[in-house]
């Protein structure tokens, strides 16, 4: 009789260990996002913008800002099936993630960007330090829904501005 009691105690301990491991795996999956990814917003999940090309020019004296800075032009494609969206923020960063400058009101033509449509995004921002030509930078555009899209380009330098 004594040996039966010992076996049931061992089985109980093994079952508790299995239950604890299963609970730990479920908590790990939830924290790592495997289960939590179901909670994303539908509009954010469907917006899939792409930057198809861009120009970044450092100008010693931007007439619009009366200071040195960057002129940025990016071409954005909104694939079919993706909802119309607007660009609310444009940023320029070095490729190591260091922020160069921000513009909270980029000009977007057309706005909003229609599904299966292309738009031209233009913004300028101040930056006083000279940047050598060929420096790689990242353009970061953020939609009104919070979707971010990036593109890496190289800096062109213009010493004098031309009047248009």
Give the model confidence (pLDDT) of 116-132 as tens digits: 999 999 999 998 888 88
pTM: 0.68
Distance of CA 107 to the CA centre of its chain: 19
The parent domain of residue 94 ranges over 43-158
Give the model confidence (pLDDT) of 26-47 as tens digits: 888 777 765 555 544 444 447 7
Assigned token pair, 101: 């400058």
pLDDT at 45: 46
Is there a contact between 100 and 72 (Cβ–Cβ < 8 Å)? Answer: no
Judging by DSSP bridges, how do beta strands 148-158 and 50-62 pair with one another?
parallel
In a domain, 64, yes or no: yes
Both 16 and 70 in one domain: the answer is no
Both 101 and 25 in one domain: the answer is no
Q: How many domains does the chain have?
A: 2
Give residue 134's region: left, alpha or beta (phi > 0; psi -120 to 50). left
Give residue 11's region: left, alpha or beta (phi > 0; psi -120 to 50). alpha
Helix (H) or strand (E) holding 2: helix 2-32
Both 22 and 84 in one domain: the answer is no
In a domain, 66, yes or no: yes
pLDDT of 15 > 90? The answer is: yes
Is there a contact between 72 and 90 (Cβ–Cβ < 8 Å)? Answer: yes
pLDDT at 160: 56
Both 79 and 131 in one domain: the answer is yes
Both 69 and 29 in one domain: the answer is no
């Amino acid at each position: 009789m004594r040996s039966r009691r010992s076996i049931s105690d061992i089985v109980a301990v093994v079952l508790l260990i299995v239950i604890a491991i299963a609970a730990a795996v479920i908590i790990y999956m939830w924290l790592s996002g495997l289960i939590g990814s179901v909670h994303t917003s539908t509009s954010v999940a469907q917006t899939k913008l792409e930057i198809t090309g861009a120009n970044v020019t450092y100008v010693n004296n931007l007439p619009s800002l009366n200071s040195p800075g960057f002129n940025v032009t990016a071409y954005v494609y909104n694939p079919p099936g993706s909802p119309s969206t607007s660009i609310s923020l444009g940023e320029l960063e070095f490729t190591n993630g260091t922020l160069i400058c921000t513009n909270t009101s980029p000009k977007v033509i057309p706005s909003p960007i229609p599904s299966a449509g292309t738009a031209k995004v233009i913004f300028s921002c101040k930056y006083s330090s000279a940047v050598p030509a060929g420096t790689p930078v990242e353009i970061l555009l953020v939609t009104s829904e919070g979707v971010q899209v990036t593109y890496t380009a190289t800096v062109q330098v213009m010493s004098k501005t031309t009047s248009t």
